[in-house]
C-alpha cells in the first residue's frame, strides 16, 4: 500500500528577454501602475484593478479580466526591491472569495547590456486546489504573452 502524499502540483520557469530600452524604463514598467496596467496578463486581457506599492512589504493587487469577462484576482507582497536591478514578490492567484488557487514567488532581474536591458523572470507556483494543474499548464504562455505586451508597449516609446 502506498502511504505517500501525492506530489504537490508545482511549476517553475525562467524566461529571458533582451529589450531595446534602458533598464530604468523597464523597471518603471514593472513598478508604476500606469505602465503595469497596460501590459500585465495574456493577450486580450485588461486590468480593471492594478494597485502596486513597490517597496519591501508593499502590496501588489491586480484583477485581470479575460476577453470573456471572467475576472482573475491576484495579490502579492514585495519581498525585495532594488531600484533598476531586482524585484522579488509573492504572487497568489485567488478566487472571488479570496481562496488561494496558486501560491508563488517571482524574481525579476534587470541587467544593463550596452544600452539595452536583459530581463530575467524566474517564477514558481504551487497549486492549492484540484484544478490548479490547468492554471500551471498555462503559466508559460501567460508570462510569455505578458512579456510580449511589455516589449510592444516599451517599443512605442
Residue ranges of domains in the chain = 16-155
Q: Which residues contact 19 (CB under 8 A, 6 or more apart)?
A: 26, 116, 117, 119, 150, 151, 154
pLDDT given at position 8? 61
Retrieve residue 119's grid coordinates.
530581463
Task: Give the predicted TM-score (pTM) of the model.
Answer: 0.91
Q: Phi and psi at residue 34, in whole multiples of 5°?
A: -65, -30
Residue 3 binned pLDDT confidence (cut-offs 50, 70, 90):
very low
Cα–Cα distance between 44 and 94 in angstroms, integer? Answer: 20
Whether residue 157 is predicted with pLDDT greater than 80 in this model: the reply is no
Domain at 16-155, CATH class: alpha beta
Closest CA to 102 of 70, 71, 135, 142: 135
Whether residue 108 is predicted with pLDDT greater than 70 in this model: the reply is yes
Whether residue 140 is predicted with pLDDT greater than 90 in this model: the reply is yes
Q: Are 119 and 110 in contact (CB under 8 A)?
A: yes
Amino acid at each position: 500500500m502506498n502511504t505517500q502524499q501525492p506530489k504537490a502540483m508545482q511549476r517553475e520557469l525562467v524566461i529571458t528577454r533582451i529589450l531595446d530600452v534602458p533598464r530604468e524604463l523597464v523597471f518603471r514598467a514593472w513598478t508604476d501602475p500606469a505602465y503595469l496596467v497596460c501590459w500585465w496578463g495574456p493577450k486580450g486581457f485588461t486590468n480593471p484593478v492594478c494597485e502596486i506599492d513597490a517597496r519591501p512589504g508593499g502590496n501588489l493587487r491586480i484583477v485581470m479580466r479575460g476577453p470573456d469577462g471572467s475576472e482573475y484576482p491576484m495579490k502579492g507582497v514585495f519581498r525585495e526591491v532594488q531600484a533598476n536591478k531586482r524585484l522579488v514578490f509573492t504572487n497568489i492567484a485567488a478566487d472571488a472569495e479570496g481562496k488561494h488557487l496558486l501560491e508563488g514567488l517571482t524574481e525579476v532581474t534587470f541587467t544593463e547590456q550596452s544600452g539595452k536591458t536583459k530581463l530575467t523572470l524566474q517564477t514558481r507556483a504551487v497549486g492549492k486546489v484540484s484544478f490548479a494543474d490547468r492554471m500551471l499548464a498555462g503559466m508559460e504562455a501567460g508570462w510569455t504573452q505578458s512579456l510580449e505586451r511589455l516589449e510592444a508597449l516599451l517599443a512605442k516609446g
